Amino acid sequence: MASGKHHAYIVQVEGQFRVRPAVASLDKGSHRHFSICNVSGWPARVTVDPTMLAAGEAASQDVPNGEAVPFTLGNRSKSKAFSLEVWVDLGCVWVPAQGESDPVIIIDP
Residue 1 has pLDDT above 50, yes or no: no
The full set of domain ranges for the chain reads 8-107
- What pTM value is reported for the model? 0.80
Which DSSP symbol is given to 29? S
How sure is the predictor about 25, in pLDDT bands with cuts at 50, 70 and 90? Answer: low
β-sheet bridge partners, residue 34: 71
The CATH-assigned architecture of domain 8-107 is Sandwich (2.60)
